[in-house]
Chain A
C-alpha cells in the first residue's frame, strides 16, 4: 500500500474545503439578501382569507403606494392562520426582516406588550386618525399600559342570522322586530324547527353557542363578562357564566339529545361555513337551520360556494340571557400593526390612516367588514344591493351600524389567546360531559388568571 492511499488532504484540500465553505455561506446568506426590503417600498402581510380578500388588499396597497410615490408595494397573502401566522411574524421580527405592516386576527396586546409591535400613539397624535376617532371599547383591544400597539381598522360585527323563509313556512313572523328577544324565547322558537330521524339530526332551530370567540358576547348578554379589564381579572367562573353554560347544557339535553357528536355527524350547525375536518356543509346555508350567530363578513361569503338554498336571510340583535338586561353585540376586528424593525414606519402609518378611512370603505363594498373609525360613513355594499335590493341593503347597513355601537368589550386581555383556549377547553369538557359546568369553568379560570398574572409580571 503506498503512502498515497492515505493522502486524504490531496482529495479534500484545505483550499477546496475553504472554497466549499464560502459557497455554502453564500447560499445560506442568499435568502436574507433576497428578503431584504428596500426603504420606501411597503410590504404587507396578511393571514389567511379568500382570494377576493387578498385581491382587495393588494389593490388597496398598490393604489396607495402609487399615489404616495412610494414605489412598488408587496402584499403577501395566505401566510396561515392563528399560530402559524404569528410564528412567521415573530420569526421575521426576531430575524430583523419584518413586514412594514401586518394584519392580525388576534388581539395585538399580548405581542405588543412583549415589544413585538411599535406603539402608535406618537404618530396618532398628529394624524387624522387620532385616538378620539376610534370607539374606545374597540381600541382597548390594542392598548396595554398606556400604549396603542395596533388599530382595529375594520371589524366583523356579530349578530343573529336567520332564514326568513323557514320562519314563514311555520307561520312565524320573519321581520327583525319579531325575532326573539331573550334566550328563553329563542329556545322555544328553536324547537319548531328541530327534527330528528332516529339519531340523525335532520334540521334544527338555533343551537347552544359553541364558538369560543363569541362567548364574551353571550356572557355580556347574561350580565357577565369573561375578562374584567379594569381590575385585570378573568371572570370565567362567575355566577352569570355558570348560569349561561347551564342554560346551554340544559338546552342541549332537552332539544339535541345531550350529544354534540350527534349534531356534528349531521352537518356543521356551529357556523355558516363548511366544517374543515369533516367536510360537512353548513346547515344554515343548506336551509336546514333556522338561524345562528355569525359575523357580518358572511354577507360577502354567503353567495360563494356552497350557495344558500334560500335567498331571504336576515339579521337580528342577539337575544338577552336570563340575568341580562341590555342587548349587546360583539366584533371580531381586523387589526393592523407595524412590527418593530419596519423599514418604513411612517409610510406604514400613513397607509393605515388611508386604510382606516378611504380604504375601509372600498373594502366594505366587497367584503362587509365594518369600518370602525368614526369618520367613516357607511354605504351599503354593491353586492348586497345587487342581490337583495337597495332598500334591504340600506336597512341592513343601518342595522349593522347600530349593532357596532353597542359592542361589548372583548379581545382586550393581554393573554387573549390563552384565555380563549381555556374557554374553548371548558366548553368542550362541558358539552362532552367530561366535566361539570362549575369544575370546567373553575379550572379554566385558574389557568387563565395564572397566565394573565405571569404576563402582567413582565
Chain B
C-alpha cells in the first residue's frame, strides 16, 4: 500500500523528515561556519585561560618544566610592593577615568544626536581616534606634551601659564595618563548615540510638552531610557581600565616612570612574565585580576537590576 499511496499523502508523510533533515543540515552548516571561531577560542582563549590557572600555582620560567608550588605565587604577589603600588594606580585610574569618560561620551552623543547636517562626518571624526594604534597615539602625546619642544606647553607658556611637566612630574603623570585615556571616546559615544536614537519620538515629544526645561527631560526621560547603554559602557570601561597597558608601558616603561606614578597592574604583570620570566608570579597576578574584574562585573550586574530599564520589561 505504501508504494501506491497518492503523492499528496506521501508528501505529507515525508515533510517532517525533510524538515528534520533540513534542520540537521542547517545545524551542521552553522557549526561549520562557527568552527574557525570555536577553534580560535579554544586555542587562544580557553586553553591559555586554563593554563594560566595551572601556572599560577607553579614555578615556571619558560625554559624548564613547571614545578608545583601551591599558593606560593599568591603569597609572593601579596608581599610584592610593586603589585600594591600598581593596584593603587590602576584603581585610581579606573575610578577617575571611567566616570569622566562616560560623562564626556554622553555629552558628545547628545551633541551628535542634535546634529542634522554632516552627521555622518562628525561621527566618523569622533570615531577615528579609536582606530589609531595605542602605541602611535601614545607617542604622539609624548611629543605633544614634551616639556621643552611640545606644542601644548609652548601654547600654555605663550598664554602666560606655567605648564606642568606632564609626564616627568610624579604628581602629574598619572593625571596625564588619565587625560590620554579620554581621547578615544568613539565607541562609547556611538553606543550612547545608538541608545539616544532609539528613544521613541512620542515619549520625547511628550516630555518636551510636559517640561520646557531641557535637563528635566535629560534626567527623567533620556538617561533612564539609555541605562542599558550606560551599563554596557560602564562594564566595558571598567574591564578596559583595569587592563590599561599599552599607554602606560609606552609612557612609563616597565618601571612606571616617573617614580612609579604610571606603574599599572598589567605592566607589573608583563614585566614579571617577560622581563623576569617569572611566569608563575605573572599568572597568579592574572588570576587575581580575572577574579577582581569578574566580581566587579557581577556586582554591577547585580545592582543593574535596580537602575537599568529595559523597554517592555515589567517591574
A residues adjacent to B (C-beta < 8 A): 3, 5-9, 12, 17, 82-83, 86-87, 90, 93-94, 111, 114-116, 261, 264-266, 277-280, 340, 415, 417-418, 421, 424-425, 428-429, 432, 434-435, 443, 446-447, 450-451, 454, 458
Do B62 and A6 touch (CB < 8 A)?
no
Report which of B26, B63, B81, B149 forms a contact with A443, defined as CB distance below 8 A.
B81
Considering only residues 21-40 of chain B, those with a C-beta below 8 Å from chain A are 21-22, 25-26, 28-29, 32
* Interface contacts beyond A417-B275, A421-B271, A450-B79: sample of 17 additional A-B pairs, CB < 8 Å, sorted by A: A3-B18, A3-B21, A9-B25, A82-B275, A83-B275, A86-B274, A114-B64, A261-B147, A277-B142, A279-B146, A279-B149, A280-B148, A340-B63, A425-B255, A428-B257, A428-B259, A435-B259
Other-chain residue from A5, A115, A429, A447 in contact with B82 (beta carbon distance below 8 A): A447
Report whether A264 and B168 are in contact in the complex, using a CB–CB cutoff of 8 Å: yes
- Residues of A with C-beta under 8 A to B76: 450, 454
Contact of A418 (CB < 8 Å), options: B64, B146, B276: B276
Of B59, B148, B258, which contacts A278 at CB under 8 A?
A: B148
Nearest CB on B from A28, distance (A): 11
Chain B residues, Cβ within 8 Å of A86: 274-275, 277
B52 / chain A contacts, CB cutoff of 8 Å: none
A-B residue pairs in contact (CB < 8 Å), sample of 18: A6-B21, A9-B25, A83-B254, A83-B274, A83-B275, A86-B274, A114-B61, A114-B62, A115-B64, A261-B147, A261-B165, A265-B148, A432-B169, A432-B258, A434-B261, A446-B81, A454-B76, A454-B278
B275 touches A6 (CB 8 A): no
Residue of B nearest to A428 (CB): B259
In the complex, how many angstroms separate the beta carbon of A216 from the nearest chain B beta carbon? 18
Bound CA–CA A71/B59 (angstroms): 41
Q: Is the CB of A9 within 8 A of B28?
A: yes
> Does B63 lie within 8 Å of A421, measured CB to CB?
no
Q: Are B63 and A265 in contact (CB under 8 A)?
A: no
Instruction: Return A19 CB to nearest CB of chain B, in Å.
Output: 14
Tell me how far the C-beta of A269 lies from the nearest C-beta in chain B, rounded to whole angstroms. Answer: 13
Q: Closest 6 CB pairs between A and B?
A: A8-B29, A434-B259, A6-B25, A6-B22, A116-B63, A114-B61
Are A434 and B148 in contact, with the CB atoms below 8 A? no
Q: Is the CB of B255 within 8 A of A428?
A: yes
Chain A neighbourhood of B148, CB < 8 A: 265-266, 278, 280
B28 with A8: CB separation less than 8 A: yes
Q: Which residues in A have their C-beta under 8 angstroms from that of B258?
A: 428, 432, 434
Most chain A CB neighbours (cut-off 10 Å) among B63, B76, B79: B63
Q: Is the interface of A mostly helix, strand, loop or mixed?
A: helix
Among residues 147 to 181 in chain B, which have CB atoms less than 8 Å away from a CB atom of chain A? 147-149, 165, 168-170
B80 sits at the interface (CB 8 A): yes
Q: Which residues of B contact A451 (CB under 8 A)?
A: 276
Note all chain B residues with C-beta closer than 8 A to A432. 169-170, 258-259
Report the nearest A residue to B150, measured CB to CB.
Answer: A278
Q: How far is the CA of A277 from the CA of B139 in the complex (A)?
A: 9
* Measured CA separation A115–B277 after assembly (Å): 12
Interface size class of B (residues with CB under 8 A): 35 or more
A447 contacts B259, CB within 8 Å?
Answer: no
Q: A261 and B63 in contact (CB under 8 A), knowing A278-B146, A446-B81, A451-B276?
A: no
> How far apart are A288's CB and chain B's nearest CB, in angstroms?
14
Instruction: Point out the residues of chain B lying under 8 angstroms from A450, CB to CB.
Output: 76, 79-80
> Contacts of A93 on B, CB cut-off 8 Å?
63
Query: B275–A424 contact, CB under 8 A?
Result: no
Instruction: Say whether, besides A111-B63, A425-B255, A447 and B80 are in contact (CB < 8 Å).
Output: yes
With A421-B254, A434-B259, A450-B79 as known contacts, state yes or no: A8 contacts B25, CB within 8 Å.
yes
Residues of B within 8 A of A280 (CB): 148
Contacts of A434 in B (CB 8 A): 170, 258-261
B62 & A94 in contact (Cβ 8 Å cutoff): yes
Chain B residues closer than 8 Å to A94, beta-carbon distance: 62-63
- A3: B residues at CB distance < 8 A: 18, 21-22
A454 to B260 alpha-carbon distance, docked (Å): 23
In the complex formed, the residue of B with least CB distance to A429 is B259
Residues of B within 8 A of A340 (CB): 63
Minimal beta-carbon separation of B215 from chain A (angstroms): 43
Which chain A residues border B79 with CB–CB below 8 Å? 450
With A264-B168, A432-B259: A114-B63 Cβ-Cβ less than 8 Å: yes
Q: When chains A and B are docked, how far (Å) is the Cα of A93 from the Cα of B259? A: 34
Determine how close the nearest CB of chain A comes to the CB of B275; give it in whole angstroms.
Answer: 5
In the bound complex, CA of A345 to CA of B290 (Å)? 43
Nearest residue, chain A, Cβ from B256: A425
Q: Which residue of A lies closest to B153 (CB)?
A: A265
Bound-state CA distance A8–B258 (Å) is 59
Contacts of B259 in A (CB 8 A): 425, 428-429, 432, 434-435
Closest to B162 in A: A199
Residue of A nearest to B146 (CB): A278
